[in-house]
Amino acid sequence: MLQDHQPSVALVFAMDNTTAIKQDIRRLMIDNLMLPTSPEEIRDDQPLFGPGSLGLDSVDALQLVVALDKAYGLKIADPEAARQILQSVNTITAAVVKHQESSAGKP
């Protein structure tokens, strides 16, 4: 007999939380970097720097690092880590979620 496969509550919450974080990151980028676009126009996988990107530069990267620290407590001190994390909304979201999960167990 086949049973309906329902995602667990934790998985649904994680998916909803990730979606909310992505939207929040788009708004954070627009507000802090004064981007002339709407959150809906920024794709999750759109590169932030380089060809075919949103067109951010090194000053934008620094502002984004500061904004992520203020909003999420995510500290990005290493330039190589910044290159990995600041590639797209998806990579920033993954770093924020990982930081939140690692911080959740700390008092």
Residue 11 is assigned to a structural domain of this protein: no
Contact (CB, 8 A) for 18 and 93: yes
What number is the average pLDDT over the span 80-100? 96
Contact 70, 35 (CB under 8 A): no
42: left (phi over 0), alpha (psi -120 to 50) or beta: beta
Q: Rounded to whole angstroms, how far apart are CA atoms 11 and 17?
A: 10
Q: Show the domain range for 64.
A: 16-100
In which band, very low, low, confident or very high, does the pLDDT at 7 lie, cut at 50, 70 and 90? very low
Residue at 5 is within a domain? no
pLDDT in tens, 32-89: 999 999 999 999 999 999 988 999 999 999 999 999 999 999 999 899 999 999 999 9
Going by pLDDT thresholds of 50, 70 and 90, the confidence category of residue 6 is: very low
Count how many domains the chain has. Answer: 1
Give this prediction's pTM: 0.83
Q: Which amino acid is at 69?
A: D
> Looking at residue 58, which CATH number applies to its domain?
1.10.1200.10
Dist. CA 43–CA 19, nearest whole Å: 12
